[in-house]
Amino acid sequence: MFANLSDRLTASFKQLRSRGRLSEADVDATVAEIRRALLEADVALPVVRSFTANVREKARAAAASAALNPAQQVIKIVNDELVEILGGQARDLHFAKHLPTVIMLAGLQGSGKTTLAGKLGRWLREQGHTPLLVAADLQRPNAVTQLQVVGERAGVPVWAPEPGNGVGDPVAVARSGVAEARTRQHSVVVVDTAGRLGVDAEMMQQAADIRDATDPDEILFVLDAMIGQDAVTTANAFAEGVGFTGVVLTKLDGDARGGAALSVRGVTGRPVLFASTGEKLTDFERFHADRMASRILDMGDVLTLIEQAERTFDAAQAEEMAAKLAGDGDFTLADFLAQLAQVRKMGSMKKMLGMLPGMGQMREQLESFDEREVDRVEAIVHSMTPAERANPKILNGSRRQRIARGSGTTVADVNGLVERFEQAKTMMRQMARGGGRGGVPGMGMMPGGGKKSKGRMAPPPKAKKGKSGNPAKRRQQELQAAQRASAPAPAGSAFGLGDQGGQADEVPDLDELAKYLR
């Protein structure tokens, strides 16, 4: 979502890297670029004005102090301001002293409240709570059924005494849901309400009545992050009509410009508590302003990546794999397949790679990455026998043809996988032992990771030509070889060996040599 904003901001910093010190002219030019980038990202005008004013003031102070590294100074200032407008320090949910804690969801039609209720319920269950979902959206067709399906998938019970589709009193359903949770000793109640429009006074009053009937500890405003400038109007309407204590951003995986995320906190003063980043129930996370600012500035979000890995990876298995890579055992294709399965549990590989620092410079390659290639890799390994996975060196031509037919791929695909596996295993083993080659461990095993580099690396030495099948040409080759053997070594040759592959008095081609020295 923030791709365009990230590109514009990082581009505005590049011109500062050649500066020895930060001048006021540099500050004004950079702030002007930042202002254009924020406006193009649909950030609300009051937020843009406040943001750029703060950046200009702090940047001029840095220039006055004759600080070195202008680009780093400005990046730090912009990062601090982004963290501030995104919400500053992350806030936890407020839980009631006496159970149950009531959380009410409110928002526009189509903002994704029902799906979010299931995601929030699943997240609460993983945190050790016992949530209950209440189906108080009785207006939208099949909203009650959808919540029941989502709740079943999330493993969270649903209170739905009314069928919905315009039948039933949502205020009474919400009130009875809280009473049912108290009876069943559920620790948290999540009330899903009907979507409404900012100008719909009747539906706004219904939300206010549900609020008064349930006395919620948290009212979460569910905001579609793709609505742009209209986020300000919508947020103000809900703040006046219902009131809310926190914001949940949905559809952060979309291709909109992200102005809503940067505007809502600055306009309403309410913090963003959660973010929905996809359609799956697992695509839900706590919102951290500092981590989001790092993503926008292309500095990555390694902490979130580590948290996802800790939730997914088995510690004992990870230690076993690390020991194998260090040389205590042989890392096989079966081990690689097990690791790949654990990585896929973490979610989309595009999202994970996008959390690495500097990946904004490889956005085109990242966008063109086809995750179905991972399915092909798994199919190839699954088509091997246990012996072949343990020792790929036994893969002869007929075995590779069988594997290709079994996996629906080509022999070239099988050859490429085996080659990348051996290269990646060698590289990871060197890194595990401290030998250290640059790069991300295992990236060579990624589909497309084994492509040849376009860098100016010297080609491998050409193999010597065999004897010609032409008798006259073969006789000429033998005479030339005899002449080279009897000729004295050229002056200055090391150990008197001379040039073993050509005439001793040949002058080296300096143009050809220069190509390999560049």
Residue 438 pLDDT greater than 80, yes or no: no
Residue 14 pLDDT greater than 70, yes or no: yes
Which of the two residues, 451 and 69, has the higher pLDDT score?
Answer: 69
Q: Which residues pair with 196 in a beta bridge?
A: 108
Residue 493 pLDDT greater than 50, yes or no: no
Task: For 312-354, write each residue's pLDDT tens digit.
Answer: 666 666 666 666 666 656 778 888 888 777 777 776 666 676 6
State residue 490's pLDDT score: 40
Mean pLDDT computed over every residue of the chain = 75
Residue 517 pLDDT greater than 70, yes or no: no
Rounded to the nearest 10°, the torsion over CA 30, 32, 36, 39 is 110
218-224 and 158-159 as β-strands: parallel, antiparallel, unpaired? Answer: unpaired
Q: What is the mean pLDDT of residues 98-110?
A: 88
| Among the ranges given (62-71, 173-182, 317-326, 486-495), the one the predictor scored with the smallest mean pLDDT | 486-495
Question: In 168-301, where do the E strands start and end?
Answer: 188-192, 218-224, 246-250, 272-276, 284-286
Q: What is the mean pLDDT of residues 458-473?
A: 51
State residue 299's pLDDT score: 66
Write the burial class of residue 459 (CB in 10 Å: 0-12 exposed, 13-18 middle, 19+ buried): exposed
Query: DSSP state, 456?
Result: -
Cis peptide before 100 (omega within 30 of 0): yes
CATH 1.10.3720.10 holds for 307-445: no
Residue 453 pLDDT greater than 60, yes or no: no
Write the burial class of residue 388 (CB in 10 Å: 0-12 exposed, 13-18 middle, 19+ buried): buried
May I ask the CATH class of domain 3-86? mainly alpha
Q: How far is it, in rounded angstroms, from Cα 309 to Cα 314?
A: 9
Rg (CA), the chain: 32
CATH topology classification for 101-294: Rossmann fold (3.40.50)
Q: How many helices (H) and strands (E) does the chain have?
A: 22, 8
Q: How far is it, in rounded angstroms, from Cα 301 to Cα 290?
A: 9
Residue with tokens 């030495």: 461
State residue 2's pLDDT score: 65
Task: For 115-147, write each residue's pLDDT tens digit.
Answer: 999 999 999 999 999 999 999 988 888 899 999
Task: For 375-400, write each residue's pLDDT tens digit.
Answer: 888 899 999 998 998 888 899 989 99
State residue 498's pLDDT score: 38
- Tell me which residue of 282, 214, 225 sits closest to 249, measured CA to CA: 225
Residue 509 pLDDT greater than 60, yes or no: no
Q: How far is it, in rounded angstroms, from Cα 234 to Cα 238?
A: 6
- Domain ranges in the chain? 3-86, 101-294, 307-445
| Among the ranges given (55-64, 405-414, 435-444), the one the predictor scored with the smallest mean pLDDT | 435-444
Residue 241 pLDDT greater than 50, yes or no: yes
Amino acid at 324: K
Which of the two residues, 311 and 442, has the higher pLDDT score?
Answer: 311
Q: What is the mean pLDDT of residues 176-195?
A: 92
Q: How far is it, in rounded angstroms, from Cα 105 to Cα 116?
A: 9
Give the number of other CB atoms < 10 A from CB of residue 215. Answer: 10
State residue 362's pLDDT score: 66
Residue 212 pLDDT greater than 80, yes or no: yes
| Among the ranges given (190-199, 332-341, 403-412, 490-499), the one the predictor scored with the smallest mean pLDDT | 490-499
State residue 390's pLDDT score: 87
Residue 444 pLDDT greater than 50, yes or no: no
Task: For 259-306, write each residue's pLDDT tens digit.
Answer: 666 777 777 788 888 988 888 888 888 888 777 777 777 665 566 666
Residue 358 pLDDT greater than 70, yes or no: no
DSSP codes joined into one string, 369-413: --THHHHHHHHHHHTS-HHHHH-GGG--HHHHHHHHHHHT--HHH
